[in-house]
Amino acid sequence: LAKEKSPAIIFIDEIDAIGTKRFDSDTNGDREVQRTMLELLNQLDGFSSDDRIKIIAATNRADILDPALMRSGRLDRKIEFPHPNEDARAQIMKIHSRKMTVNGEVNFEELARGTEDFNGAQLKAVCVEAGMLALRRDGVEVTHEDFNEGIVAVQAKKKTDLFYYA
């Protein structure tokens, strides 16, 4: 379809769901993922450089991608977006809490110092969690402590998620 409609851009989000490093497995699910990956590689090989078709893929787990995906003519560019710095983290939390009633004592710069390895989605989760904590305690505004507890909750989930991939 992309060849018929070219020029075209194909975007594959969460490519790590099918593009993981291959390994021997006896489970049907793993074999199906590997078959899907092989078909993707086959399709990528079918595009020539003059097809006016560009393929973009996104992942949060570049470390588990199969090296075959990065061979020339497939996905041959890697662009990384690092985690936001401290100032950016404070701004991200301000953006995601702007529709909340936030107590004037909330210090987003201080909160940002406690979120060093957080990405944008995790910072949004901190704000959502802080809002939920305020609601649970029947608060009329979100406090600095709500945000601190939100950071702890997201950090705990983050550690759990990392163990999942280990």
Q: Give residue 50's pLDDT.
A: 63
Q: What is the pLDDT of residues 23-61, one digit of tens each?
A: 555 665 566 767 877 887 777 776 666 667 788 888 877
**Does a cis peptide bond (omega within 30 degrees of 0) precede residue 7?**
yes
Q: Give residue 138's pLDDT.
A: 97
Q: Are strands 53-57 and 8-12 parallel, antiparallel or unpaired?
A: parallel
- Give the residue extent of every domain in the chain: 8-70, 86-165
Q: Give residue 30's pLDDT.
A: 61
Q: Give residue 90's pLDDT.
A: 98
Domain 8-70: give its CATH architecture. Answer: 3-Layer(aba) Sandwich (3.40)
For residues 21 and 66, is the Cβ–Cβ distance under 8 A?
yes
Is 11 in a helix, a strand, or coil? strand
Q: Give residue 165's pLDDT.
A: 44
Q: Residue 57's closest CA among 48, 30, 43?
A: 43
- Give 65's DSSP letter: B
CB neighbours of residue 130 within 10 Å: 29
Which residues, given as ranges, of the chain have pLDDT below 70? 21-31, 33, 46-51, 76, 160-166
Which CATH number, 1.10.8.60, 3.40.605.10, 3.40.1620.10, 1.10.1060.10, labels domain 86-165?
1.10.8.60
